[in-house]
């Protein structure tokens, strides 16, 4: 039986999501008050309003979150595309299919909105994120748009249809 629930986040979740990201920044040794962290929280509020933040809960507690931006939120992303901006799962709940389930929930939502392509970027040395994305069928592409990243990042994409057809959510969340 599956032990996590996936849903769209609301404003009442903002504190718990913020804590989740603060813990991740701590895990990554990013100093508190860093500009990137402040920018992230600002973006999160806008994504929440748009229904572009999905969360996973286990026993009523936040276990993971994933969010995206699209053309409705910013002109940095072309029409028909969603760009994943963050994915984080509480360390104790990793490798249980939670991020995969969040990805599939976002894909279903995007499909409903007529978004045909999902893109994202991550550091080339982020083994976990790359493992997650490659396993779902994402492939590398050459990003020449205004999404402001560094050479250390890799851009990946997938057709929304392909992701929704894959359906691995909850596949191994038995413990
Ligand atoms: C990346 C992250 C969100 C993955 O979450 P998760 O819930 O553990 O992912 P899943 O359980 O759905 O993993 C699916 C598949 O991805 C791959 N994968 C996940 N973590 C991996 C790791 N540490 N090393 C190698 N492959 C990994 C595996 O193929 C895994 O399937 P398997 O467990 O059957 O082998 C999580 O590790 C995390 O929060 N990391 C810190 C934040 C981060 O780096 N976010 C992404 C960039 S912003």
- pLDDT tens profile 64-103: 999 999 999 999 899 999 999 999 999 999 999 999 999 9
CA atoms of 146 and 38, how far apart (whole Å): 21
- Tokens in use for 84? 């994943």
CA atoms of 19 and 28, how far apart (whole Å): 14
Straight-line distance from the first to the last Cα atom of the chain, in angstroms, rounded to the nearest whole number: 9
pLDDT digits 0-9 by tens, 11-34: 999 999 999 998 998 898 888 777
Task: Confirm or reject: Cβ of 126 under 6 Å from ligand 1.
Answer: yes
- Tokens in use for 89? 């799962």
Domains of the chain, start order = 5-166 (3.40.630.30)
Collapsed DSSP state (helix, strand, coil) of residue 166: helix
pLDDT digits 0-9 by tens, 121-175: 999 999 999 999 999 999 998 876 656 666 678 999 999 999 877 544 434 444 4
Task: Confirm or reject: Cβ of 118 under 6 Å from ligand 1.
Answer: no
Pairing of strands 117-123, 81-89: parallel
Write down the pTM of the prediction.
Answer: 0.92
Q: Which atom of ligand 1 sits closest to the CA of residue 100?
A: 12
């Amino acid at each position: 039986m599956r032990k996590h629930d996936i849903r769209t986040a609301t404003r009442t979740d903002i504190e718990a999501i913020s804590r989740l990201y603060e813990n991740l920044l701590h895990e990554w040794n990013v100093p508190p008050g860093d500009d990137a962290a402040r920018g992230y929280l600002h973006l999160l509020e806008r994504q929440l309003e748009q229904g572009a933040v999905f969360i996973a809960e286990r026993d009523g507690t936040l276990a993971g979150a994933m969010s995206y931006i699209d053309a409705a939120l910013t002109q940095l992303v072309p029409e028909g595309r969603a760009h994943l901006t963050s994915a984080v799962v509480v360390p104790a709940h990793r490798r249980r299919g939670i991020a995969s389930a969040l990805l599939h929930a976002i894909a279903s939502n995007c499909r409903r909105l007529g978004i045909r392509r999902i893109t994202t970027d991550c550091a080339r040395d982020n083994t976990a994120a790359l493992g997650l994305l490659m396993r779902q069928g994402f492939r590398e592409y050459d990003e020449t748009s205004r999404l402001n990243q560094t050479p250390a990042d890799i851009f990946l994409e997938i057709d929304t249809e392909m992701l929704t057809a894959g359906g691995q959510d909850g596949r191994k969340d038995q413990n």
